[in-house]
Structure 1
Amino acid sequence: MKKKLTIKEIAELSGVGKSTISRFFNDGYVSESVREKIEKVINENNYEPNVFARGIKAKNNRFIGVIVPCLDSTITSTILMNLDNRLRELGYIPLIINTNHNVSLEIANLENLSRLNVEGIILIATEVTKKHKDFVKKSKIPVLFIGQICEETYCIVNDEEKAGQVIGEYILNSNHKDILYVSVDENDTLVGIVRKKAVLDKILINNIKVDVEISDFSMDSTEKLIYNYMKKRKPTCIICATDNMAFGAIKALNKLEIKIPEEVSIVGFGGYKISDLISPSLTTIKFYNSLTGELAAESIVKLLNKENIPKIQKIEFEFLERKSVKKLNS
């Protein structure tokens, strides 16, 4: 079994100071005679340095901090897998931290990663607060936001405005005139404000009735919301801010024995693989989340290399017309 020596013990056995051992492990200057002493101690004790601990203390450690709001989201996991793969291809190691949608923990981890001396930070953000902005302003390392716009730094976002317009126009052309839009809280600027506004602007100019209800990103919360809402009134179409929320709406309609799309049409945003497997298959917007992950990795590395990139990069999408929307007579 390999003996786990401390830096202090290696220093004592080698007859040198701890700072010399630190320079040795971080490729600093150490005389040849001293280097031989240290290597002899390491070899005799079968010592292997902790690559992580060694790396984060180095000036150029090639670690990139990645903060995510959750690990069970289809979108987040897709972005994360492609981000991880591309970073490693580029010679960097991601340090992934999950915050479980806790904004205070998110801010704390931004500070923690900075103290760990990572080379850059990528944040998959659900909102942008003053504390986020304050951190970016004082940060000495590149910070890249995914999913939200922070004017103080670089960002990669979905083209929410165009996507929302496509859905709004599609529902308008399908002749729906009694619509429920299920949104998320406006703390999420891009989904809760920009996406919603883009959809509704296309519809409301035609004096069509639209109700707006607020849920969270979860399937269960949206299921309860729709179940209770449909007991009071029955729109011809429900537009959900995400596919996950649309699945919750579908569960509620099934419980109420309301037929989709014959009685109520459903639309989502996300383009999850499962949205094509359910019956009826879900009409939705598919964002290119794989591209987001790859682009984020390439962008943070370019920032580290002092290369110019656009302040805001927008990800394209694909409209997937399936079976969950009924076109009504005009």
Structure 2
Amino acid sequence: MNKTIADIAQMAGVAKSTVSRFLNGGSVSENTRQKIERIIKQYNYVPNTFARSLKAKKTSIIGTVVPRLDSYATSQTLIGIDEELRGLQYQMLIANTSQDMQREIDAIYDFARQKVSGIILLAAEITDAHLKAIEDIQIPVLLVGQQHELLHSLIHNDDQAGYVMGKHVIERGHRDIVYLGVSERDQAVGIHRKRGFQRAVAECSDCKVRYYETSFKMSEAVVTAQTILEASMPTLIVAATDNIAMGVMKTAFSLNISIPQHLSVTGFGDYDITEMIHPTLTTVKYHYLQAGMLAAAHISQLVEGQSVRQKTILDVELISRESVDKI
């Protein structure tokens, strides 16, 4: 049975508060320190960091709020955060909101009640309710994947991603194009990524582009793609994410449409699977793992009161593969 602070205190002949003070780096006599250390070593006692943090003035816990766990981008970002935080002697708590905005707000307040040192927030949009919660809790918050002028933000260069993809498909000769995006409530993907693409096609005098929306779910992209392809056949569909692109490819295969011979498809993200499927997917690589590691470094610096750049932008990289034909 694991020993508790009360057990350690009883064996050492001291008060629980003395053991707690020792574990939190407070001052105790040399004799008491030696007794507590000897007992901790004898019983391999591991302090409950979470429980200690509830009473400590400063904790070693960082809260991370994510919109969903079944996402390659989220999982890779979380891996990066966790790896870096461990090296910085912090622990991570995760709150999954299942893309429910009220649960995001609740998670911010919940983390504050748990006395985390800082919060990393992966949100689709930042509302007045988010800003009020962040102001109320008075804890450092870092926004990842989106940007807001009032918050420290770490973002991928979505505008540039859309632009380089647009230039690439135009250079491949495509002029009849469908852009399958998402709601503009998600500013990074729904607005900035699309605007970058629009900026590229605006430089092409004879491009015809139709714009549609779907959700981030592959299953919904399948349905939307079927409506598009049954109405009119473009030469290319630019999907706002790799998940959406794979939904488009699934629909194309079910309709006996060959990729890329009859339809070219692109995505954004460079998920691991995009290099394994056939044909391999042309996409834009996002450095999610690096983003997570940098986010962890930045939140720890904010917690320590150090200066952090208000907005950090990560580069993206075009990955040209088999799913885009040259016309």
User: Which residue pairs with 1:232 in the alignment?
Assistant: 231
Which amino acid in 1 is paired with 2:270?
G
User: Which residue pairs with 1:167 in the alignment?
Assistant: 165
Call closer, same or farther: CA 1:317–1:41 in 2, change over 3 Å. Answer: closer
User: Is the CA contact (8 Å cut-off) linking 1:136 and 1:152 kept in structure 2?
Assistant: no
User: Is the CA contact (8 Å cut-off) linking 1:14 and 1:38 kept in structure 2?
Assistant: no
How many angstroms does 1:139 deviate by? 3.6
From 174, 181, 198, give the equivalent of 2:179: 181
User: Which residue pairs with 2:308 in the alignment?
Assistant: 309
User: Which residue pairs with 2:284 in the alignment?
Assistant: 285
1:1-330 equivalent positions in 2, closer than 5 A? 1-2=1-2, 23=21, 26-28=24-26, 50-205=48-203, 206-328=205-327
Which amino acid in 2 is paired with 1:88?
R
**Partner secondary structure for residue 235 of structure 1:** coil
How large is the Cα RMSD of the aligned pairs? 2.8
Call closer, same or farther: CA 1:39–1:207 in 2, change over 3 Å. Answer: same
**Partner secondary structure for residue 267 of structure 2:** strand
How many angstroms does 1:142 deviate by? 1.1
Call closer, same or farther: CA 1:166–1:44 in 2, change over 3 Å. Answer: closer
Which amino acid in 2 is paired with 1:293?
G
Q: Larger deviation: 299-308 or 28-37?
A: 28-37
How many angstroms does 1:114 deviate by? 1.1
Q: Larger deviation: 69-78 or 36-45?
A: 36-45
User: Is the CA contact (8 Å cut-off) linking 2:5 and 2:20 kept in structure 1?
Assistant: no
Q: Name the CA distance, whole Å, in 2 between partners of 1:182 and 1:309.
A: 36
Which amino acid in 2 is paired with 1:255?
S
Q: Tell me the alpha carbon deviations over residues 275-326 of structure 1, each in whole angstroms, 9 at most, x when there is no partner.
A: 1111111111001111101111111122122222211111111111111111
Q: Name the CA distance, whole Å, in 1 between partners of 2:325 and 2:39.
A: 75
Q: Name the CA distance, whole Å, in 2 between partners of 1:298 and 1:5.
A: 32
Normalising by the residue count of structure 1, what TM-score does the alignment of the two structures yield?
A: 0.88
Q: Name the CA distance, whole Å, in 2 between partners of 1:225 and 1:6.
A: 60
**Partner secondary structure for residue 269 of structure 1:** coil
Q: Name the CA distance, whole Å, in 2 between partners of 1:174 and 1:55.
A: 57
Q: Name the CA distance, whole Å, in 1 between partners of 2:46 and 2:311.
A: 43
User: Is the CA contact (8 Å cut-off) linking 1:64 and 1:94 kept in structure 2?
Assistant: yes
User: Is the CA contact (8 Å cut-off) linking 2:109 and 2:137 kept in structure 1?
Assistant: no
User: Is the CA contact (8 Å cut-off) linking 2:143 and 2:154 kept in structure 1?
Assistant: yes
Which amino acid in 2 is paired with 1:305?
E
Normalising by the residue count of structure 2, what TM-score does the alignment of the two structures yield?
A: 0.89
User: Is the CA contact (8 Å cut-off) linking 1:137 and 1:152 kept in structure 2?
Assistant: no
**Partner secondary structure for residue 238 of structure 1:** strand
Q: Name the CA distance, whole Å, in 2 between partners of 1:41 and 1:261.
A: 68
User: Is there any run of 5+ residues in structure 1 with no aligned partner, and where?
Assistant: none
Q: Name the CA distance, whole Å, in 2 between partners of 1:324 and 1:134.
A: 45
User: Is there any run of 5+ residues in structure 2 with no aligned partner, and where?
Assistant: none
Q: Name the CA distance, whole Å, in 2 between partners of 1:79 and 1:89.
A: 16
Call closer, same or farther: CA 1:254–1:28 in 2, change over 3 Å. Answer: same
How many angstroms does 1:55 deviate by? 2.3
Q: Tell me the alpha carbon deviations over residues 23-50 of structure 1, each in whole angstroms, 9 at most, x when there is no partner.
A: 5654445678998999999999998653
Q: Name the CA distance, whole Å, in 2 between partners of 1:43 and 1:84.
A: 27
Q: Name the CA distance, whole Å, in 1 between partners of 2:34 and 2:88.
A: 33
Which amino acid in 1 is paired with 2:122?
I
Number of residue pairs matched by the alignment: 325
Which amino acid in 2 is paired with 1:68?
V
Which amino acid in 2 is paired with 1:134?
K
Identity %: 38
Q: Larger deviation: 87-96 or 37-46?
A: 37-46
Q: Tell me the alpha carbon deviations over residues 65-115 of structure 1, each in whole angstroms, 9 at most, x when there is no partner.
A: 111112221111111111101111111111122111111111101111112
Q: Name the CA distance, whole Å, in 2 between partners of 1:271 and 1:35.
A: 53
Q: Name the CA distance, whole Å, in 2 between partners of 1:54 and 1:323.
A: 54
Q: Larger deviation: 41-50 or 284-293?
A: 41-50
How many angstroms does 1:144 deviate by? 0.3
